[in-house]
């Protein structure tokens, strides 16, 4: 860890000047307490740096949570081993998963399926309790539950160091969460302008605790975070069903972990109750299980938090980009993507060039930087990768 200033601590050995400048700017906001913690996977984001932990006293910056509220990971360890998959056509399994779960931006379910019904009812009750109608943001929000999206979201079948099969996926609150986030970022910007607050970046606009706008944001944020968690649960249940049909045997779960990495919680740190916004970071209290994925062709990790107080009990959420999507498309080729994915069953398309492993920081270095934040329980290697374009 390096103390860059009294209000900025960094665990990142690989970081560019623009990202550092953005982090310094956020750390100077007057309500940061006690300091901003920059994770090993930190890279440039909208307003606030992706891979940062931002504790705020009496205020919240909606853009510091991010536009994919509640985005995170879920993983299930099964009783199966690599030998159960040997000699089988993994392309068939990939295609079965692709048929069961809508992929890509703007793709949703045609109807609410039976497994989603109790989750929809739970979300309807939470929305009523929180005093808002999600349909004002997305009339089809119910059909969005159980869908993956695009970008760096994925579904994978992997094996650990003991050749045990894990099912692993990454997604968030989809279109409805995005619209909730964008609405409150806009409200914060309007209020800061109305109050003549001079911001170093419009995307650092904030809401003040105790105001109606703050209260509404927290209520809708918590709903979106829960939507994201249930969205992952719904997709994982579908993946389990497809694996069961593929292998002709029931999937007995040995372990299930579901964790956010774009979220806000009220926590006590350094003697004060603060709002901790983790934008691309997971909660890593001592003993808490967590998930840190690499890129689509590199290792992912099942971890356990070490409760480092200086990090505000946090750790990285993944590898972190080194190339923007447009830069990756200019730099890398389809053939290089194929080479990077050797031995992994994936949908072979140039649409994924911007997700090539070389566009990300080396996950091994990220995990080395995070050695004081988490311990590694399992290292996962992909056999099957499913993505939306």
Which residues are tagged catalytic? 317
CA dihedral of residues 289, 292, 293, 294 (deg, nearest 10): -150
The DSSP secondary-structure symbol of 359 reads G
State the DSSP H helix or E strand holding residue 93, giving kind and residue range, or none if neither: helix 90-100
Closest CA to 143 of 111, 104, 175: 111
Rounded Cα distance between 230 and 74, Å, is 10
- DSSP string across 196-239: T---SSGGG--EETTSHHHHHHHHHHHHHHHHHHHHHHHHHHHH
Mapped onto helix, strand or coil, the DSSP state of residue 4 is: strand
Q: How far apart are CA 50 and CA 127, in angstroms?
A: 28
Structure tokens at 187: 């409200």
Tokens 């949908």 sit at which residue? 347
Paired residues of 20 in beta bridges: none
Cβ neighbours for 338, distance < 8 A, ≥ 6 positions apart: 348
Helix then strand then coil, % of the chain, to nearest 5: 40, 30, 35
- Within the chain, where are the H helices? 17-27, 82-85, 90-100, 117-130, 141-144, 174-194, 212-247, 325-331, 334-340, 363-369
First to last CA, the chain: 36
Residues 6+ apart with CB under 8 A from 341: 296, 297, 348, 385
Provide the 10 A C-beta neighbour count for residue 40: 28
Q: Which two tokens stand for residue 125?
A: 């009750």
User: How far apart (Å, rounded) are the C-alpha atoms in residues 329 and 276?
Assistant: 34
């Amino acid at each position: 860890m390096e103390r860059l200033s009294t209000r900025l601590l960094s665990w990142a050995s690989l970081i560019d000047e623009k990202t550092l400048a953005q982090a310094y700017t956020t750390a100077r906001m007057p309500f940061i307490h006690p300091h901003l913690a920059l994770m090993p996977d930190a890279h440039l984001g909208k307003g606030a740096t992706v891979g940062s932990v931002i504790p705020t006293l009496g205020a919240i910056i909606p853009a510091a949570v991010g536009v994919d509220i509640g985005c995170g990971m879920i993983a299930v360890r099964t009783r199966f081993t690599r030998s159960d998959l040997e000699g089988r056509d993994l392309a068939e399994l990939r295609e079965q998963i692709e048929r069961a779960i809508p992929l890509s931006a703007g793709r949703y379910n045609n109807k609410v399926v039976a497994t989603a019904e109790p989750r929809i009812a739970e979300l309807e009750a939470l929305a009523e309790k929180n005093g808002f109608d999600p349909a004002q943001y997305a009339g089809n929000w119910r059909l969005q539950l159980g869908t993956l999206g695009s970008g760096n979201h994925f579904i994978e079948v992997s094996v650990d160091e003991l050749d045990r099969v894990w099912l692993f996926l990454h997604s968030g609150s989809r279109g409805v969460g995005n619209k909730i986030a964008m609405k409150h970022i806009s409200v914060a910007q309007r209020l800061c302008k109305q109050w003549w607050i001079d911001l170093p970046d419009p995307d650092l606009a904030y809401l003040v605790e105790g105001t109606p706008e703050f209260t509404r944001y927290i209520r809708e944020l918590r709903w979106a975070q829960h939507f994201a968690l249930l969205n992952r649960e719904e997709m994982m249940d579908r993946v389990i069903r497809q694996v069961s049909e593929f292998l002709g045997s029931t999937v007995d779960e040995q372990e299930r972990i579901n964790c956010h990495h774009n979220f806000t919680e009220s926590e006590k740190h350094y003697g004060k109750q603060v709002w901790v916004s983790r934008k691309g970071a997971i909660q890593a209290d001592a003993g808490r299980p967590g998930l840190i994925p690499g890129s689509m062709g590199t290792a992912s990790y099942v971890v356990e938090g070490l409760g480092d107080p200086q990090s505000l009990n946090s750790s990285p959420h993944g590898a972190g980009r080194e190339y923007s999507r447009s830069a990756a498309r200019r730099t890398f080729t389809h053939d290089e993507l194929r080479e990077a994915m050797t031995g992994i069953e994936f949908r072979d398309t140039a649409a994924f060039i911007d997700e090539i492993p070389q566009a990300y920081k080396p996950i091994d270095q990220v995990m080395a930087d995070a050695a004081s934040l988490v311990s590694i329980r399992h290292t996962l290697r992909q056999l099957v990768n499913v993505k939306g374009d």
